[in-house]
Amino acid sequence: MKVYALLLLLLFFLFFTSIFGDLGLKLAKCQRKIVKISNAKCGDSNQCSNVGMCQFNKPNEDSKFIWPNLPTKLKKHVVKRLDYVSRCRLRKCSTSDQELVDSCPMHWNGIYVSLTQASLHIRFSKVVTMEYFRKNNDRIEIKFIEGQSFCKKTREVVDSKLNHYNVGIADFLLMLKNQSTTCQEINFQNLESIDTEDQYRFIQSLLFHLSSMNSSWKIHSKKLYTSLVTTSSQLLDILSFFCPNTLKCITMKEYSFNAIETKALVNTGHWRNAECLDLQHENNISIAEFLHSKTFWTVVPKLEPSDAWAVIENYREKDGRPRGSTFYIRSISPLEIQNILNEYDVPVDNMPVESPWRKDSVLHTQKFPIAGSELVLVVMLMKFEITGKLCLLSNIEEDCYNYYTADPDLD
């Protein structure tokens, strides 16, 4: 019986290798070749090298296996394995390669867009960094870590005001153009202190490019982090280009919203759907507006004891949030510790635990068990801060010690 099974297996094996083996082997070779070619340097940085002209042993030996003649399905498999730089190089080879690359959606771990005094950095999935330099005469110098050109074909670049921001942003958006492309995180930040004027120019340029995308186009990113100096209304505009169903985490530094903008912000689908909200600047958004999220950080002018209690009650709900969910509220005026403790509906009991906070800064720690659950809510009061975290009862020390963050791992 065993022998028959083995024989049958062998037969199947022979059958499949005879049909697909040849093609499979060639493709494997092809992928190696492409990766190899794409690691080589191009002579003229704006010209297509022979990327994609994937040739085997001898040219013309078998024209079926020349890159342009491979079936699209196979080519797509290859493109999916290419990194950012290789995709860009292939994209510039021909119209069909451009269409091929654009029709292969990507999954980026993160895209980090950073401003420095002299340049715009764009880092794709922590692997490839492109740097677009400012030049006095407005010519742009573009440098990849591998010393290559950028992603657009010459005839695609129609912008007359070709400063380094415009080129960088155009490349950045090109990589998000396909609506099946997803991204774990998009991050806009300054790497050094920069003229506000420059940041303003960058945001203007970004908004210009965003609004020239197809009207239904959205960025499918799970997280948005921004610390660029901009007006809060521009920030709301940028937010509107993110898909509200995909976006789960919003971190914003350096913004103050007026009453109208605050209302607009909390009414966006993005805010309503968010699982983590992280506002690191003083704001007037009421605590109740944060309570649908799993984790939030905020800074308020003054925290009312009744609000502090409302948060504790909300986090203590049975079958509510998962382990690790955290809240952190900083109040500009000192907390009324005694008044907060007076709100507690259980005997007040200070039971300190190890935490990342300085021991002498934590004035009171209370553990709120959650009935019928393995979780316990650990609430710490400090002079200006209240923070709480859902920890596993059997693992309190470790759970509490893990760094408090507004940025939990999603999914």
- Tell me the H-state helices in 279-323: 305-315
- Angle at the Cα of 171 (from 250 to 121), degrees rounded to 5? 65
Q: What secondary structure letter does DSSP report for 411?
A: -
From 47, 196, 211, 284, residue interacting with ligand NAG (rule: CB under 6 A): 284
Contact (CB, 8 A) for 401 and 355: yes
Binders of ligand NAG in range 204-223 (CB under 6 A)? 214, 216
Nearer to ligand NAG, 261 or 336 (CB): 261
**Contact between 256 and ligand NAG per CB under 6 A:** yes
From 184-192, 267-275, 278-286, 403-411, span contacting ligand NAG (CB under 6 A): 278-286
Q: How far is the CB of 380 from ligand NAG (least distance, A)?
A: 25
Nearer to ligand NAG, 98 or 240 (CB): 98
Contact (CB, 8 A) for 228 and 202: yes
From 102, 159, 254, 407, residue interacting with ligand NAG (rule: CB under 6 A): 102
Indicate if the alpha-carbon torsion angle 219, 224, 227, 232 is positive or negative.
positive
Nearer to ligand NAG, 93 or 400 (CB): 93
> Alpha-carbon distance 6 to 326, whole Å?
56
Q: What secondary structure letter does DSSP report for 292?
A: T
> Alpha-carbon distance 207 to 196, whole Å?
16
Residue among 105, 17, 94, 23 at smallest CA distance from 52: 94
C-alpha 236: how far from chain center: 18
**Contact between 365 and ligand NAG per CB under 6 A:** no
> Alpha-carbon distance 320 to 342, whole Å?
24
**Contact between 98 and ligand NAG per CB under 6 A:** no
Residue span 15-54 as binding mask against ligand NAG, x where in contact by CB under 6 A, dash where not: ----------------------------------------
Contact (CB, 8 A) for 172 and 106: no
**Contact between 182 and ligand NAG per CB under 6 A:** no
**Contact between 95 and ligand NAG per CB under 6 A:** no
Residue span 104-123 as binding mask against ligand NAG, x where in contact by CB under 6 A, dash where not: -x------------------
Which residues are near ligand NAG by CB under 6 A? Answer: 102-103, 105, 178, 180, 214, 216, 256, 282-284, 301
